[in-house]
């Protein structure tokens, strides 16, 4: 199988067959992201995809789930995606789900009819970097869309019968703005049929604009208590159905995993316990390691 550079996938796709259909990210300019800075966006040639599927057929002939990589494979036009889906079903007839990363911009570029055709081709479980429902955050993070476009795009996926999860960045609005960020994000998601919410906290590595803003003080990061308050507010405000809250990324202050609304109270209790544990450290900024993981004070 061919993979170029670092291949990223969501943690819950660990058992899926990873099939490279693009390289890099078609946007590649979010203010906090360095994932594909040195990888120009390009489409993998169909003959290479066929070679990879041929190989996959040998070692995973009964595969049921494929995750298309890299950064935003949904950037491919609908015709190309349907062609790739046909190839997957041809080589691996047991495949039921073809998932991938997608951006709101990718959805905006497709018609309702195309979204329905893609769903019929087995494409489902898109993983979307929504990040926030607050316009000022989306602008500052250079996401390339506004909240109303995000809302409409997610609702169009609902209309096409396509499942999707979204990534949400706690602290993306900076210190003191967590409540506003949580309210806007919950308000947007409450109007959608989102089935998974992946949470992490804002962090930036050298090489992106947000890193410079954090160093210069132009962007002030929340403290540990601020992150907990924002996540509490988000959980309290979310009115979604049968939606997995996946908060196990190491950049979170507290590890959470549960369904909304069923596990809301349990998760709120975990936040409260984390607050008690951190006690006098709540007003400290996080110390981090790779991928933004937080080293909690003892």
**Given the rule CB under 6 A, which residues bind ligand SF4?**
25, 27-30, 33, 35-36, 71-72, 103, 129
Q: CB-wise, 28 or 191, nearer to ligand SF4?
A: 28
CB of 8 to ligand SF4, least distance (A): 8
Q: CB-wise, 71 or 178, nearer to ligand SF4?
A: 71
Q: CB-wise, 30 or 81, nearer to ligand SF4?
A: 30
Q: CB-wise, 28 or 97, nearer to ligand SF4?
A: 28
The residue whose two tokens read 């110390």 is 287
CB of 96 to ligand SF4, least distance (A): 26
Q: CB-wise, 12 or 259, nearer to ligand SF4?
A: 12
CB of 170 to ligand SF4, least distance (A): 15
CB of 128 to ligand SF4, least distance (A): 9
CB of 202 to ligand SF4, least distance (A): 12
CB of 255 to ligand SF4, least distance (A): 22
Q: CB-wise, 20 or 232, nearer to ligand SF4?
A: 20
């Amino acid at each position: 199988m061919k993979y170029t550079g670092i291949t990223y996938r969501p943690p819950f796709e660990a058992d899926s067959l990873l099939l490279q259909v693009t390289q890099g990210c078609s946007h590649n300019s979010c203010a906090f992201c360095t994932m594909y800075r040195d990888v120009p966006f390009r489409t993998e040639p169909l003959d290479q995809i066929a070679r990879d599927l041929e190989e996959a057929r040998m070692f995973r002939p009964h595969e049921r789930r494929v995750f298309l990589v890299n950064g935003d494979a949904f950037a491919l036009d609908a015709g190309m995606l349907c062609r790739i889906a046909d190839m997957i079903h041809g080589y691996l007839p047991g495949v039921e789900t073809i998932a991938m990363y997608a951006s709101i911009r990718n959805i905006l570029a497709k018609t309702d009819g195309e979204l329905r055709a893609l769903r019929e081709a087995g494409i489902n479980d898109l993983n979307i970097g929504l990040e926030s429902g607050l316009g000022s955050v989306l602008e500052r993070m250079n996401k390339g869309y506004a909240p109303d476009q995000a809302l409409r795009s997610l609702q169009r996926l609902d209309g096409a019968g396509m499942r999707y999860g979204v990534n949400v960045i706690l602290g993306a609005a900076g210190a003191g703005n967590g409540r506003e960020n949580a309210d806007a994000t919950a308000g947007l998601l409450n109007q959608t049929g989102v089935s998974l919410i992946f949470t992490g906290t804002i962090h930036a590595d050298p090489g992106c604009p947000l890193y410079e803003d954090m160093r210069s003080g132009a962007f002030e990061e929340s403290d540990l208590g601020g992150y907990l308050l924002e996540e509490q507010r988000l959980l309290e405000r979310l009115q979604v159905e049968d939606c997995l809250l996946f908060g196990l990324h190491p950049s979170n202050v507290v590890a959470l995993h549960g369904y909304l609304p069923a596990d809301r109270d349990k998760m709120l209790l975990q936040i409260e316990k984390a607050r008690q544990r951190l006690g006098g450290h709540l007003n400290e900024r996080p110390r981090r390691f790779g991928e933004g993981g937080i080293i909690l004070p003892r």
